[in-house]
Each structure stands twice: as C-alpha cells, then as structure tokens.
Structure 1
Amino acid sequence: MDPEELADASRVRARATVLHADADSFFAAVEQRDKPSLRGKPVLVGGTGPRGVVSTASYEARRAGARSAMSMSRARRLVPAAAVLSPRFEAYSAYSRQIMAELATLSELVEPISIDEAFVDLEAGPHASDPAAAAADVRGRIRARTGLAVSIGVGRTKLVAKLASDAAKPDGLLVVEPADEDDFLLPLPARAVPGIGPATQAALERLDVRTVADLRRQPLDVLTMTIGESAGTNLYRLARGVDLRAVGPSGERKSVGAERTFAEDIFGRETIAAAVDAVADEALRRLTAHGGGARTVVAKVRFADFTTVTRSVTLPQPSAEPAELRAAAQQAALAAGISDSVRLLGVSFHNLTSHAQLTLPWDDEAPEPQVAPDVAAPTADPGPARPRLLDEQVSRPGLDVEHAVLGRGWVVHVRGREATVRFETVDTPPARSRVLDLDSDPLVVVHPLAVERLAP
C-alpha cells in the first residue's frame, strides 16, 4: 500500500459493526402478504399499461427470468401465469415505517437509503459487542411485526455490509468479520462493487478485470487513466475494502416523485404541459403523504428516440405550495425541451425539508385513486370525506376495495360495469375470484388495511 492508502485503511473500523438491511422483493412480498391467494405464486408489480415497467418481481417470477426494470410486456411473456399488480404506495410506506422503527431500536444512527433498505451503525447503540445476535433478533422482530423477510449483512464498512446482505438473499443473515473480508470480496464479480455501471464494466473488461481480485491487481495509475481520476481512485480503494463512508441520517439524497410512460408518444407544447401537470400532481400527492416541502424540482423527459434529458429548478427556499412546485416543474420541463414527441415524463422533488423517499414509476393508466372530498356547500366543518366508488376509470389491479356485505378485497380487473374481485385479506384464507355488477353491488375504494394496522 502507498502512504495515502495506508492512512485511509487505518481509519476503517476494526470490528464488523455496520449493518445493512434489505427487505426481500419488497413490493411483491407486501402484495403476497396482504393477498393470501398470491402466496407462493409469481407476482409482478409495476406499470400495467403497454409500456409499463416492472418495479418488483417476486422470487417465483424471478426464477422464470423476470426482473425489475424489465418491460412488463416481456415479463408477462416470460411468466404468463403471474399476477400483475399496480403499486400500492400507501401499503409499502406503512410496512416500511415498521421496518425502520425496528431498526431504530438497534442504534441512534439509522440511514434509510430507499423505502426498503437501510444502514445501521451498531457502534452507536448497545449491540456493538454482538452484532450477529442483534441482526438475528431484529430480523425476527420485523417478521413478527410485518410478516416480511429481511436479509441482513454485517461488515466493518458499508461496502461489505451491502454486499453481504446481497449474498444473504433471500431471507438470510451474513456477518463478514474483518479477517474474512478477502475471502468474501475477492471472488465476487467486479460489477458488484458500487460505482461500476455498464460503461465502467466494459472499460474494465478491456483490462481483463472480471472479479474483485482482478480489480485489486490493477495499479492505481492504470485505473485512473482508464476510467478517470475520481472513479479510478474510488475503485482502487474499494477493491481493498477501504470504504470510509459513515452511517448517518442524511437527507441530502432523499427525493419523492413520479414518472409516466405514455401508451403512445405525445407531442405539442400544450399537450405535454398538461401531462407535466398530471405527473407533478401525482408527485405532489406523494410529497404530501410523506410530509414536508422541497427546494429543488427536477423534470425528466424521454423523447421518442429514447434520448433522456433532465433539468432542475431550485427555489429560493423550500416550499410545500402546490402551485409553486407545479410551476417549477413546468419550468424545468421547458428547459429540458418539450417541442418533440415525448415518450416519458417524470417530476421529482429534492432537498426535502423532512424525511421522505419514494420515487416510483407509474404508467399510462389513471393514478391510484384518493378518497374524494365532500363537494357539498362549504361549512365551518366539512364533515367526513365522501367514499369513492369503484369504476373502470379509477380501477387498478390490486386496488383495495370493500363491499357492504362481502367485506374487504382487492380488484383483479374491471371491464365496463363488471368487476372481478377476490374478497380476502391478510387475516383470511385464500379466496376465489367473484364477478360483481357494480350497479347492483357497488364497491368502495379504501385505504390498504396495513395503513390502519401498522399505524405508528
């Protein structure tokens, strides 16, 4: 090691006390948990329209080749028997809060990095002396409280902890002690190291780098000349297990937003501006649900030729005012260029004023319905919200509904005034599909049961 590397290595902690927890196949697992008839069966969660994308595939679907970020149409061809469901953001957030609450019992330093995974610094809590026992205990408590499996990795750095949780999947626990790091790291594929995307991987393969051991053999000057000074230096250190990133509840990278891929490309400034407003409104609903305001608004535009452009607008101070954030989204989209045919639009809010992180795609169908406000003449006390009745316009596969006699269930599909529903919950046995006439058997759209059951 050179003197700079020796200095860095001396700052790495001596014990395996960084924990990384990652809920297994989170969205699909929640759906299987809440819908007994789907347990043990392939499930695809994501956009259900012609250009929808898979957000999460259950392990049963993955065994047939489906995976996240794959087009839903391709995943359906690979797994024709899979249940295809739209995301239920309220349910996922409710389960996530419970997972994060259990992790917070281990330490004051918990760093959520997405809705379903987080780092924990065990040295900041009472469990530094026995991290394996702490990890096993919290996995059991999460399963008891939520019914979900969480894979956990423990190491002395974020790098090792994250790679260990990946290796532990599904539903496993792996503690990598410092003395065992090389045996664990060196055989791994180089692409497992954070920062190695497709372009960097291709550049490294030209150096015949395919494993972490191969990466470690590369001199620093070769790496920096191949992939740049910053990236080369970073990979040189990571290949040696030197990762100085601290665990901390930082809000800098958190964001909330929405995307929409259109069934057919849209064009014309007015049409695109209206679509930006629709996507911004969906993002605003998620921002409101998770609390606080935002200072930076980012617009993402993907054109018909698949060129993707992002532009941002930063406000003088954080805002939660819908009109101001919507106007900033329009400004950012205009800066990205909206004169050509557009395939995808996205709006996200960054630099949030309080904890919030949920950026999920949605497709060409209607957004998840909300409970509609009472539209009667205004009074000092508007009273309870009017229930939203299910119809074809608001329907999405997997949506939670309730019948006056049959109770709670979820929507399989709606065609015209005919709804196919499974009346089952986490507390009931699996149910068969039933077809109802919505004129004679109206169904009310309701919040997921998990929102009530898993309330803070």
Structure 2
Amino acid sequence: MSDGPATDAVGFAAGCGAAAAGTAKVDAARASAPTTAVVATARERAVGACGEGVDERPEEATLGVDRSVMKASLLFGPGWGSRDLFGLLQLTWRRRVYARVRTKVPRVGPGGQSRAVSIDRAPHAPVLRARPTIVHLDADAFFAAVEQHQRPSLRGRPVLVGGVGPRSVVATASYEARQYGARSAMPMEQARRLCPPSTVVVVPRFAAYSAYSARIMAALREVTELVEPVSIDEAFADVAGAVGPETDLRALAHRIRERARELSGLPVSLGLGRSKLVAKLASEAAKPGGVRVVGADDEDAFLLDLPVRALWGVGPVSAARLDELGVRTVADLRRQPLDTLLLVAGEAGGTNLYRIARGWDDRPVTTVRERKSAGAEHTFDTDLHGRAAIAAALDPVVDAALARLERHAVAARTVVVKVRLASFTTLTRSVTLPRPTADEGALRDAAHRALRLADVTEPVRLLGVAFHALSEHAQLMLPLGDEAAEAPAEPADAVPLPAPSPSGPVRATAANVAPGLDVATAADGRGWVVRVGDDGRVAVRFETARTGPGYQRWVDPDAEDLTLVEPLGPDGEPIRPVPPDDDA
C-alpha cells in the first residue's frame, strides 16, 4: 500500500491524540469504507482532537491511493478489507506520523490554545576550527587500573572495584573483567557470577585515585593551561594556542599519552577533534591506550557509521524512539528532517540531535566548571518496609548530602529525592524553595516533603538526595510554601562514592577492614586486605608497586599489630586523604 492520505490522516490523528487515531482506524475498519471515506473520517477525528491546522493533501493523491487499494484487492483477493486495512495502518502509523506531520499540526498549549511546532529557528552550521586541536583524555578503567598498578598480583586478573555488601554495585571493572560481561553500575553479585573465581573484588580508595588523577592532568597542563577536567579520570584540553600551523598533532598526542604514563604509571586514551563531541568520540574509539585524530576531512567517515547511542544526548528513551524510525546509526540520524526529530525528542532535544548528527559542537574548553548539584545516595542491605522506616532512613542520606553542600560552600533551591523500589523501579520527586538556602532544617524538611510526594507503598532498596539550583549567595529564607516542582528526568544510575581513607594509623579489626584497604604490620610491612574470614582473621597480601608480586598470609588482628594505613601515591609515597568530590 503506497503512502497517501489514508495513512497520513490516520497518522495526523495519532500525532494529535491516540484516542482519535484509534477510533478513526476502528471505524474505518468496521465499515470497510472506501479510502476517501477513511481519509475524511481520520481527518475529522484529527481536527476534533487538535483543532484546525492538519495538512491537506491534493485530490490527485486520494485517487492514487484508491488505485493502490484496488491493486491490493486484486493481489490479496476480494476478502482483503477491514481487518487487513486496520492491521496495515496499525503497523505504519508511527512511521507516518513522524515522516508526514509538519509544523501545521498544532500542539495544545496552556488554556487549550494550540501552537504549532516551530522550526523557523533551524540551526545553522557553526564555524569550527580548521585543525583538530581539542584533546579528550580518558584514563582507561581508571579505578581498576590504579589497583592493578599498586598491587602487582592483580595485573592480568579480573578486578571489580565497588562495595562488598549484598546490594553493592560495580564502580569500575577491569578490561579482564569486561571480557566476561561485567560493567560499571552492574550489581556486584551479578558481576561476580559472570566472572571466574579468580576475580578480585576491592573497595574504592578515593585518596589514591585523586593522587593518580592529579598526575594525569599534569601531563595535559604541561602543554596548555586550557584544561577542563570532566571527572576524576577524563578531561578536555585546547592546544590551539600551544601549537604552530606545522605541528604534528598526532605526534603531540602520543607525547601527552606517554607523559601521562610516565607520571602516573597508567594507560590513557586520547582523541583529537575540531570539537568536544568529536574528540570524545575519538578517545572512545582509541581505547584501550590508543590515540585517534579526526580531522575535518575524516569527520563524516568517522561519524556516520557510529551507533546513534554513542552520541551525547541520546539516552535509552530517545534511542528507543529513534529505533522505531529505523534510526540506528549516525548516518540514519542525519537523514531525518528536523521536524521528525522535534517530534521524537522535543524542541530542545530534537535540535540537539540535528546538530550532533552533523558533528556541530562549538562549545569551548573552559577551565572553570559550574557545579550543578551536590548529593548522596545509599543502597540498603535489606529492603525498607513502611513509611516510617523509609522516612527515618532518609535522614542519614540527607546528612551526607548536606555535608557535601557545606564543603562546597553553596546554597540550594531545589531538593530532589530518589527512591529505588525493590522491583528496581525508580521514582524521583522534587521540591523547589522560594529562594536558595543553606539552612539544614529547611533543606531537610524539603527532602521529606519530596519523599511524601513519591507516595511510596512498596519496599525500598535505595534512597538518594540531591540539591540542585546551587548558588554561592544564599538569600534570606521566607516561610516554606507548599508548591512542588515537576519531577526532573531520571538521572543516570550513580555509583555511591567511596568513603575517605582513614587519617593516620588506625588499629585494624575484622569490623573496620574490607577487601582492598591498605594495612601494615611491623614484621611484614605494607600490604592490602584480600578478604576477611568468618573467624575474624584477615587475609593480607604484602606487596607494593615497587616490590613486585608479594606473599599472602592470614593475620589475626587480636594477636598481631595490624594497622590501617594511608594509600600510596604514584611516586610510592603515602598520600594525605581528601574527601570525595561529587564530580568523581
């Protein structure tokens, strides 16, 4: 059946309201009406749902569809009619609504007034730099790489960094563990089932990771001052002002990579492009431990074959909608007209998809990043039951989030509470205050109000609190109102940040040690906890990056002087712990 008014009109109705579309199709199917009647019925329902503004089609098109229906009847037999027409329209309406609905199809705005989707402000190609002088550096499997660098016996073995409790998740999986399907943000128990028995699980050590991160960033800062850290293990740099027109950028990238390895002992991947978008995609393509330079002449060849999910701004929801249109690669995405993308992702999201499909990204590298949120979350060992228990469990999470807010010396206006149910369904609710505040009582009350808005009736496995709309200058608070902001889009699953390392020597016991922590005895020197036995003894492997693979033995903390000690830095010297940062 060829494209035409029947399908288009049903598509228009679907675009304006599912009910209008459904009844139009059912009515047409029941009546086995001629195609012209199908067009009239569908358009009438569309106008009823949306108001005037549905695109008209020429009568010649209607005649063409009539001929197509007649041909289909000859092909499939005289019985081809209501049921087949309904099924065919049902299969094609989504594609038609995306491909045929234009800006004349109105959206219903406040007060019932219709407004058309505007594409008059179609984005124009930005003027990008001529050479690929934006660098994206990414430390490969960073947490796990630090552990393998400091603990020689872990090299070449699957390593999982994360919590050790029953509800813990993976913060980082080494490349050896990824070969078995383990990945970041996966439940630890699932990752352990996928990996072989030789896999080692260790808890995160933020102080060590911070020290290694500083060394890696130093390799970039030796070349340019324009370095923008994105997280603890990746950064952008703009080297345009540090190179000449004849500078070999590929050779420069290799020098940065080798310098980062020299300073930190870790492998890093580098991507160079004319924009942040292309540079980041290039570093992904260079993993592990490689260099990829994408110049102006290579951009299309590099971008078009990439999966659409590789692009910034394409999350699971957008990807699913694009997949319905057959959009699976960047090339597929680039072929879509702007109005189709506006329907899929909204005005801002659709415009962004249109731009990134063409590699348009003129964001500069900035040395100061504005903090957007501060928060904390906690996964419970057993599910929480009952509103009172859930509300009581929220307070320690609020305390942790408030501590981060205080450390960054900012105030917040919006409080978001995240609730993950035992079924893994995630709810988010938010409360926006009249003005930014750092008052703990006001922020705690807002968090509990947001929790009540979630109306939780099922068991809970995780609670999170995040403060948004941050401000450095808190204004005088007025009495709390009772307005509630719309719940924000579901944030990406976050891995709980590691606790800071102990400050100074602390006597180790079975209660305060965990796999991966640094310990020492007077007789054996430094080592790390491999596991804790049921009898309270601790298995310790005594080794450092300088000693090579060491020996392992069981230590009884009650009988021997076993102490928790500070981690070592890349230079082999003990480092001063620092509290975890929200961006890590």
TM-score > 0.5 by shorter chain: yes
Match of 1:435, as an amino acid? Answer: W
Q: Which range moved further: 223-232 or 434-443?
A: 223-232
**What is the alpha-carbon distance in structure 1 between the residues aligned to residue 469 and residue 515 of structure 2?**
33
SS at match of 1:8: coil
Which residue number in structure 1 is paired with residue 556 of structure 2?
A: 437
1:446 to 2:580 alignment: no
Residue in structure 1 matched with residue 143 of structure 2 by the alignment: 27
* Alignment partner of 1:116 is 2:250: no
Question: Residues 87, 205 of structure 1: CA spacing in aligned structure 2 closer, same or farther, 3 A cutoff?
Answer: same
Distance 1:400 1:340 in 2: 40
| 2:560 match: secondary structure | coil
Q: Shift of residue 57 of structure 1?
A: 0.8
**CA contact 2:167–2:188 (8 Å) conserved in 1:** yes
When structure 1 is superposed on structure 2, of 200-209 and 334-343 the one drifting more is 334-343
1:361 corresponds to: 495
Q: Partner of 2:495: helix, strand, or coil?
A: strand
| 2:195 corresponding residue in structure 1 | 79
Deviation at 1:137, TM superposition (A): 1.9
> Residue in 2 aligned with 1:380?
none
- Give the C-alpha shift of residue 149 in structure 1: 0.9
Q: 2:271, 2:291 within 8 Å by CA — same for their partners in 1?
A: yes
Q: Which residue of 1 aligns with 2:165?
A: 49
AA aligned opposite 1:275 = A
C-alpha deviation, 1:105, in angstroms: 2.8
In 1, Cα distance between equivalents of 2:354 and 2:321? 15
The residue identity in structure 2 corresponding to 1:11 is V
CA contact (8 A) 2:418 2:426 kept: yes
- Aligned partner letter, 2:548: P
Q: How does 1:203-222 map to 2 (within 5 A)?
A: 203-222=321-340
- Give 1:138-287 correspondences, 5 Å limit: 138-253=256-371, 255-282=373-400
Partner of 1:379: none
8 Å CA contact 2:378–2:464 kept in 1: the answer is: yes
TM-score, structure 1 length as denominator?
0.84
The DSSP-based 3-state class of the residue aligned with 2:153 is helix
Residue 537 of structure 2, aligned match among 405, 410, 418: 418
CA contact (8 A) 1:67 1:75 kept: yes
How far is the alpha carbon of 1:230 from its aligned partner?
2.0
Task: Tell me the CA shift for residue 311 of structure 1.
Answer: 4.2
* Kept after mapping to 2: 8 A contact 1:253/1:350: no
Are the equivalent residues in 1 in contact too, given 2:228–2:369 (CA < 8 A)?
no
1 CA distance for matches of 2:231 and 2:137? Answer: 11
**Structure-to-structure mapping, 1:63-102, within 5 angstroms:** 63-80=179-196, 81-102=198-219
What residue is the counterpart of 2:425 in the other structure? 307
How is 1:385-396 mapped onto 2 (pairs within 5 angstroms)? 387-396=505-514
Shift of 1:157: 0.8
Q: Which region of structure 1 is more displaced relative to structure 2, 56-65 or 135-144? A: 135-144
Contact 1:95 1:454 in 2 (8 A): no
Work out whether residues 27 and 56 of structure 1, in 8 Å CA contact, stay in contact via their aligned partners in 2: yes
Distance in structure 2 (CA, Å) of the matches to 1:282 and 1:102? 33
Sequence identity percentage: 54
Asked if the contact 1:52/1:261 (under 8 Å) is kept, the reply is yes
Count the aligned residue pairs: 431
8 Å Cα contact 1:422/1:431 also seen in 2: yes
Q: Specify every segment of 5 or more residues in structure 2 that has no aligned partner in the other structure, as ranges.
A: 1-118, 473-492, 579-584
How far residue 175 of structure 1 moved from its aligned partner, in angstroms, is 0.7
> Given residue 356 of structure 2, which amino acid in structure 1 is its aligned partner?
L
- Measured in 2, the distance between the counterparts of 1:78 and 1:60 equals 12
Correspondence for 2:252: 134
Q: Structure 1 CA distance, aligned partners of 2:127 and 2:560?
A: 66
CA distances 1:168-214 after superposition (whole Å, capped 9, x unpaired)? 00000111011111111111112111111222122112222221111
Deviation at 1:25, TM superposition (A): 0.4
Alpha-carbon distance in structure 2 between the residues aligned to 1:105 and 1:408: 33
* C-alpha distance after superposition, 1:280-326 (max 9, x if no partner): 455567678x765553654322123333233456785575x888876
Q: How big is each residue's C-alpha offset from its partner over 1:113-164, in whole Å with a ceiling of 9 and x where there is no partner? A: 22111111222x4136433333222211111111111101000011110110
| CA 1:351–1:112: 2 relative to 1, 3 Å | farther
**Cα separation, 1, equivalents of 2:470 and 2:243:** 31
Shift of 1:91: 1.5
User: Higher strand fraction: Structure 1 or Structure 2?
Assistant: 1
SS of 2:367's partner is: coil
Kindly indicate whether the alpha-carbon contact (under 8 Å) linking 1:253 and 1:351 is maintained by their aligned counterparts in 2. no
SS at match of 1:251: coil
Instruction: Check conservation: 1:107, 1:121, Cα contact below 8 A.
Output: yes
Q: 1:250, CA displacement in angstroms?
A: 4.2
Q: Alignment partner for residue 427 of structure 1, among 525, 528, 546?
A: 546
> Distance between the aligned counterparts of 2:445 and 2:211, measured in 1?
30
1:107 aligns with 2:224: yes
SS at match of 2:428: strand
1:11 equivalent in alignment to 2:130: no
Structure 1 distance, partners of 2:458, 2:149, is 43
**C-alpha contact 2:436 2:470 (8 A) present in aligned 1:** no
Q: 1:37 aligns with which of 140, 150, 153?
A: 153
SS at match of 2:514: coil
Deviation at 1:346, TM superposition (A): 2.0
Note the aligned Cα RMSD (angstroms): 3.1
**Alignment CA distance shift 1:4-1:329 (3 Å):** closer
Distance 1:453 1:314, change over 3 A: farther
Distance 1:163 1:371, change over 3 A: closer
Q: Is the 8 A contact 1:283 1:348 kept in 2?
A: yes
Name the CA distance, whole Å, in 2 between partners of 1:344 and 1:196.
26
Higher mean alpha-carbon deviation, 244-253 vs 61-70, is at 244-253
* Cα separation, partners in 2 of 1:413 and 1:307, compared to 1, 3 Å: same
Whose RCO is larger (CA < 8 A, sep 6+)? 1
- The 1:417/1:306 distance shift into structure 2, 3 A limit, reads closer
C-alpha distance in structure 1 between counterparts of 2:209 and 2:502, whole Å: 18
Q: Residues 110, 242 of structure 1: CA spacing in aligned structure 2 closer, same or farther, 3 A cutoff?
A: same
Deviation of 1:368 after TM superposition, in Å, equals 4.1
Q: Indicate conservation of the 8 Å contact 2:126/2:360, yes or no.
A: no
The 3 A distance-change label for structure 1 pair 371 and 46 is closer
Following TM superposition, by how much is the alpha carbon of 1:108 offset from its aligned partner in structure 2, in angstroms? 2.8
Q: Give distance in 1, aligned partners of 2:183 and 2:383.
A: 25
Q: Secondary structure at the match of 1:420?
A: strand
Separation of aligned partners in 1, 2:468 and 2:282: 30
**Greater Cα offset, 401-410 or 149-158:** 401-410
Relative to 1, partners in 2 of residues 1:99 and 1:353: Cα closer, same or farther, differing over 3 Å? farther
Cα deviations by residue, 1:53-109 (Å, 9 ceiling, x for unpaired): 111110111112211122211211111221111111221122122222332333332
Give the Cα separation in 2 of the matches to 1:133 and 1:195: 31
1:271, 1:105 → 2: CA distance? 53
Q: Secondary structure at the match of 2:263?
A: helix
Structure 1 residues 100 and 292 mapped into 2: Cα distance closer, same or farther (>3 Å)?
A: farther
Cα offset for 1:229? 2.3
